[in-house]
Amino acid sequence: MKRFFSIIMLLSVFSYVQLFAQKTPYSSADKETQKVLKKVDKLIQKGQYQTAFGSLGADTNEYIIAKKIELCSKYFALSMMHTMFGFKDLEKGETLYDVRHAVSTSGEMTFNTVMYDPAAVVQKYIEANGEKPILDYALGLYYDDVIYRYSGNWLMSDEEIMNNALTYLRKAYDQDCYDGFSLSTLAFIYFSMDDIENAKLVYDKKDQEGYEFTADDNYNYSIVLWNSGELKKALKFSEKCIKGYSDNPEYQSDAYIITARIALAVPDYKKAESTLKKCESKYPEDYRIPLYRITLYGLQGNKQKTLNAADTLFAISPENPEVSQLIIENFVDAEVWTWLPEFFESNLVRYAENLSAKQNLLIHYAYILKQLGDYDRAVQAVAQAKEELVKDDSLSPEIENFLNRILETNQQ
């Protein structure tokens, strides 16, 4: 009986969350408006966008206006600066993409257009009726759509558009007027502004109220949680986005790497290693796999595996100074920088016949020796670096100044 009661309680909570999550900004509309909105939603599902827009009639209340703005943002066949729109009832087998493509390539239009400036319509309405949360919700999403479609080519600057999207969505949020999509949009705006605190606030809300997370939500939220120190929860969401990006190789490889990095921070070295291995099986050319293996093995105190990972990374582009810098950074992150001379010394032998690689190694080797306080060997490495650099006239003023600063420091 106790087990049965527990199951009933669990199902009750689950049902409550599902019902709560299904609440929309339109839920508080009166019954007559709800009937209209329900009819319009069915028309939208059938692709009958022109009929749907016409069915809304005059701008009699804020819910009708909000639904019109939604249609303008999502379901237009033609948009002219997002203040004039054309809508079309799709034929069988026809998609909105097909219609938009035909309009953009041939100018072919089999539908009428209507002037509808959402910002002006809302302003007129609130002057007569006062501000309404659902209009903040609708305008916020409208401005977000504007910057997506007209960035750098609209009636106001991108900064103004983004500020409008943020302002309206936040006003709606603060009045409990939101849905899963608007929460994602608002959270992402904060995320893109590096406002981790507010991004977390909104993603937390979406998580707590049971809204479904997109792959992008999972990815962004994992980074937000990581930056907020909630590492185990961050790992949970980053693992979700690996599966969510299964049809997007570029994003999925990023998801694997972020998951591995969060696992390193937890720390969960077993999870980090298995994640990097899975990533390698699908994306063997990703340079970040050996990069974070340096960190992984360094943190575990495995010197030989750390050096092997560094060798693998360096071999990808031995002439590139950025590769040497990445290797140094990750040895430092793992607090095993004292192992770096061995990496440079072994690779100076390995690439003895590759002048560019040798130059790259010697410059960074001299720098590391200086940092480790081995001044005599640093001086020798600077001399060797200059000797190799003059062979093909690669001793630029910038490099020479860098090497000379090593010598100046040593002389102090």
pLDDT tens-digit profile of 167-189? Answer: 999 999 999 999 999 999 999 99
d(CA 88, CA 110): 8
pLDDT in tens, 193-224: 999 999 999 999 999 999 999 999 999 999 99
Q: Check if CATH label 1.25.40 holds for domain 289-412.
A: yes
| Positive or negative: CA dihedral 31, 35, 40, 45 | positive
Q: Would you say 142 and 125 are in contact if contact means Cβ atoms under 8 Å apart?
A: no
Listed residue (245, 17, 290) closest to 237, CA to CA? 245
Instruction: Give the end-to-end CA distance of the chain in Å, rounded to a whole number.
Output: 81
Q: For the residues 333-355, what does the mean pLDDT come to?
A: 98
pLDDT in tens, 64-90: 999 999 999 999 999 999 999 999 999
User: pLDDT at residue 312 above 80?
Assistant: yes
d(CA 388, CA 358): 8
Q: How many CA atoms lie within 13 A of 78 on its CB side?
A: 21
Lowest mean pLDDT among 110-114, 121-125, 260-264: 110-114
Q: For the residues 16-43, what does the mean pLDDT come to?
A: 83
More confident residue, 133 or 408: 133
Q: For the residues 150-175, what does the mean pLDDT come to?
A: 97
Q: What is the largest CA-CA distance in the chain?
A: 87
User: pLDDT at residue 41 above 50?
Assistant: yes
What is the model's pTM? 0.88
What is the residue-averaged pLDDT of the chain? 93
Q: For the residues 18-22, what does the mean pLDDT come to?
A: 46
Domain boundaries, the chain: 27-117, 131-212, 231-286, 289-412
Residue with token string 């185990």 = 232
